[in-house]
A and B are shown apart, each in its own frame.
Chain A
Amino acid sequence: MKRIRNTAPLLVVLAGLFVLGYPMAFLLGYPQAKNNFEDRNRWIQRVIKAAPPLNLDSTTLRFDAAADLSNGLLVRDGTPLADRYQIEPGKIKLSQPIPLIVPVGVEGLVDGQNRLFHVATAERERPLYLNGKLMTMAYEVAPEKPDGQRETFTFTDTKGVFVFRGKWLQLGKDYALDGDTLRLYEPAPLWLELRAEPEWARPLRVTGDYAWADDKTIVLQEPPPPGSEIVLGESTVTWAEKLRGPIDGANRTFAFSHGDLVPDDATRRLFVGNRQLSPQEYLITDAKQGTVVLKETPPPGSIVWTDWYTIYDHPTCGTTVLQCFFSLPQHPMPLPHEIIARIPSFVMRYDFQSERNVVREAIYTAQGTLVALLLGSIVGMTFAVLFVLAVPLERALLPWVIASQTVPIIALVPMLVLILAQFGVQIQSSRLPSALIGGYLSFFPITVGMTKGLRSVDPLKLDLMRSYGATRPQEFMKLRFYAAMSYLFPSLKVGVAVSLLGALISETETSNAKGLGFAILGQVQAGNVADLWVLFLVTAAMGILFVSVVGWLEKLIAPWVRKL
């Protein structure tokens, strides 16, 4: 019962911290999540394409059932066909057969394994047929730009074949997966040519039946079975999109069906009649709404159309800011369960033989802390006794004792290293820095507490000593020391905490590469936030443990203090 009463409040606070950790982590991670959500460079881009026919005979073109045939026009090789067709659901009937579309062969081994095929033309808009069936071209481009060093690229999903620079990548040989992150075994080279960077300069993920791996290479999602016939249409017949807007000889503003255009879409193609407009001949005035203004007014009777363009589809990280928050590869403040889940792997990462083992690091730091506390106690108590014995000494020294604590501690270690090196002391391999820095910090509360303690003797107890004719040393040994205990132990609690701090600081500064302080520094430099938090927990636990030990010692050595 008593145990429950003692530990319950602690557990309640722990649970509270755990729960509070989530809104806290969200608040701290929100700006980054929002940025990922809003930064267009991180969005998935989707190409809105003219629909190619699924198959064709001389007078009927059969389109994908999903294709929108309501607002469009039939185009063959960039030229709108005359209005001699009838639209029926899913297909178009021609009143007059169009010349035969001659398929072009595709080169590549059809052995049931190979996915990679070469074509003679770079015209990506041509339809690809596998055994007479139209295949869909769809892919996702990694948002990250290769810079010659980058190895990791993020995708919304990891399903499908990954393609990079004319090759399909093989898991385990070319890349590894970590969540939605693709990690190449060799850094992706930077695109150095002057002309615009093609999509395949970045890793792609094939999401449809196939994707272009470079200008003349196709990668299929599934290897075609042996004996399959893969053909590319010789000429293109597509159902292209008419831009919306009156063609009255005055209007120059037209609208795409889809908004949120990529304004600098390099692949966008606009036509007036059968003439393709150069980028200088039109201006995207409102990418959000998908509005374009032409330089010259299209004459009445002409058609303004496009066969494809790229839009921003959705953010890479998710459809809400919250999703983007959870998909952050690393939260500025990790989520509490992430930290806790990290503990076992963190502890087990190195076995006990290794110096990097966290238990060994902790033991090393604990030893430094205890030596520091011992040093701080000796110095602190000596000062206290001197101050109480000789008040002028206190007046002379106390300001310096206080000033000593305002010195930037971080500057002390390099100074110590320099000074001690002159005497041939190899500071790197010893606990001397921990002891000196920790002791330097801890002697102060002990001096102050002990001085106060030695002075705060019950005056009646002092009168009693006087009435017995006790000498000054007797008064010290039999009364003041014991009376000071009730101040000494709280000071020791502060002292042990700052000793730990001093030990940690000194470990980050010296190059002996040991202790929790060094481990913390390592994680800071690695930018490994979750492990950093685990280390915070470890040091916090150590601090609590040390302070508790002082409390137990107090109960053991000076049980009367709690009875006062």
Chain B
Amino acid sequence: MNTPIIAFQEVDKVFASRGSNHLVALEHVNLSIVPEEFIAFIGPSGCGKTTLLRLAADLEQPTSGRITIKEKTPEQARLDRDYGYVFQDPVLYEWRTVEQNVQLPLEIMGVPKPKRETRAHHLLGLVGLSEFSHHYPWQLSGGMQQRVSIARALSFSPSILLMDEPFGALDEITREQMQLELLRIWRNLKTTVLFVTHSIPEAVFLSTRTVVMSPRPGRIHEIIEIDLPQPRTVETRECERFFELTTVVRESLRGTENGH
């Protein structure tokens, strides 16, 4: 439990743009995440939350510093399929059915067909979409599409789940349902989750630790331990501690503005 599953050490990320206007997206980021943690990243736009996730996923390269994932480089981790990535948009392949979308990562890994089908069936059951396995993405609602996207990320049982505002485009009711479902999946599968969000209640409700980030340059402002009891339920949102913690996070966020 003490060996970090993901570690950021003095990570900087600078985007070179035209002329000399370099954009410093991340500066001096240090963060250690242990297995089965649920980390929420929150902060104003431009604080580098998404960049942090993309660095971990080897979709971007850090300008300096070191990232280790399961004691490997991010590239090796990517090739070992250690993580599943969920974007804000479902990013489903429109030419594939729901079932085929969930099978896509397995197809790429060369998993034999019968095994793929069993796995897809199981995961669609997990996200409650068994009946829709032969539908095409455009025949589903936004929330259903996002569930397919999560099922797809889970299809190859990654030990880490990288989620970039996955519920950002959903309405409030669907979003709260999805949060509960995500927590259920997280408990059952015992994965580590890195979750980027704009919503303070979402961060508090979901995470074990909430990382508050400040913008320009993106830095870790404060890490807040969320000591709400597990398993969290509908009532968790109504308890006093939940409100206290949201206030703490809110004030911390306000601090990021004053700090600059």
Contact = CB atoms under 8 A, between A and B. Distances in A.
Nearest to B84: A467
Interface stretch (B62-70, B75-83, B197-205): B75-83
Interface in A430-487: 458, 460-461, 463-470, 474, 478-479, 482, 485
Contact of A563 (B87, B94, B107): B94
Contact of B104 (A468, A560, A563, A564): A468
A563 B78 CA distance: 32
A488 to B, nearest CB: 13
A482 B91 CA distance: 14
Contact of A461 (B54, B79, B83, B91): B91
B78 A467 contact: yes
Interface string B122-139: 000000000000001110
B93 A563 contact: no
A255 interface: no
B89 interface: yes
A558 B105 contact: no
Contacts of A461: 91, 93
A559 B139 CA distance: 12
Contact of A560 (B57, B80, B138): B138
A406 B89 CA distance: 44
Interface in B101-158: 104-105, 107-109, 136-138
Contacts of B89: 460
Given A478-B104, A478-B107, A458 B91 contact: yes
A464 to B, nearest CB: 6
A474 B57 CA distance: 19
Nearest to B80: A469
B136 A560 contact: yes
A468 B81 contact: yes
Contact of A469 (B79, B84, B104, B107): B79
Nearest to B94: A560
Contacts of A466: 58-59, 78
B85 interface: yes
**Residue of B78, B95, B108 most packed against chain A (CB within 10 A):** B95
B91 A464 contact: yes
Interface in B32-86: 54, 57-59, 78-81, 83-85
A470 B59 CA distance: 13
Nearest to B88: A460
A564 B95 CA distance: 11
A485 B94 CA distance: 11
A120 B79 CA distance: 120
A469 B94 contact: no
A461 B152 CA distance: 13
A44 to B, nearest CB: 74
Q: Chain A interface mostly helix, strand, loop or mixed?
A: helix
Given A478-B107, A560-B138, A563-B138, A467 B95 contact: no
A342 B104 CA distance: 59
Contacts of B79: 469
Interface residues of A, number: 21
A90 B172 CA distance: 111
Interface in A171-215: none
B137 to A, nearest CB: 8
A458 B84 CA distance: 18
A460 B81 contact: no
B24 to A, nearest CB: 22
B233 to A, nearest CB: 32
Nearest to A474: B108
Interface in A223-241: none
B172 to A, nearest CB: 24
B108 A469 contact: yes
A474 B83 CA distance: 19
Given A466-B59, A467-B78, A479 B138 contact: no
Nearest to B92: A461
Contacts of A559: 136
Given A463-B85, A467-B83, A469-B79, A564 B94 contact: yes
Contacts of A478: 93, 104, 107-108
B138 A467 contact: no
B57 A467 contact: yes
A467 B107 contact: no
Contacts of A469: 78-81, 108-109
A467 B85 contact: yes
A466 B105 CA distance: 10
**Residue of A461, A469, A485, A564 most packed against chain B (CB within 10 A):** A469
B138 A468 contact: no
Given A468-B81, A468-B108, A460 B91 contact: yes
A522 to B, nearest CB: 47
A485 B108 CA distance: 21
Contacts of B105: 468
A494 B68 CA distance: 51
B120 to A, nearest CB: 15
A458 B107 CA distance: 20
Contact of B95 (A463, A464, A470, A560): A560
A482 B59 contact: no
Nearest to A463: B59
Contacts of B87: 460, 463-464
Given A463-B59, A563-B94, A470 B85 contact: no
A463 B94 CA distance: 16
B108 to A, nearest CB: 5
Contacts of B138: 560, 563
A1 B244 CA distance: 60
Given A460-B87, A461-B91, A560-B94, A468 B109 contact: yes
Contacts of B104: 468, 478
Nearest to A560: B94
Contacts of B107: 478
Contacts of A465: 108
A474 B93 CA distance: 14
B139 to A, nearest CB: 9
Contacts of A563: 94, 136, 138
A556 to B, nearest CB: 13
**Residue of A463, A468, A478, A558 most packed against chain B (CB within 10 A):** A468
Contacts of A468: 81, 104-105, 108-109
Interface string A356-370: 000000000000000
Contacts of A463: 54, 57, 59, 85, 87
A464 B81 CA distance: 12
Interface of B: 54, 57-59, 78-81, 83-85, 87, 89, 91, 93-95, 104-105, 107-109, 136-138
18 contacts: A460-B87, A463-B54, A464-B91, A465-B108, A466-B59, A467-B57, A467-B59, A467-B78, A468-B81, A468-B104, A469-B79, A474-B108, A478-B108, A482-B93, A559-B136, A560-B94, A560-B95, A564-B94
Interface of A: 458, 460-461, 463-470, 474, 478-479, 482, 485, 558-560, 563-564
Please give me the 6 A-B residue pairs with the lowest Cβ-Cβ distance, nearest first: A560-B94, A563-B138, A482-B95, A467-B85, A460-B91, A468-B105
Given A467-B85, A560-B95, A564-B94, 12 more contacts: A464-B85, A464-B91, A465-B108, A466-B58, A467-B57, A467-B58, A469-B79, A469-B81, A469-B109, A478-B107, A482-B95, A563-B138
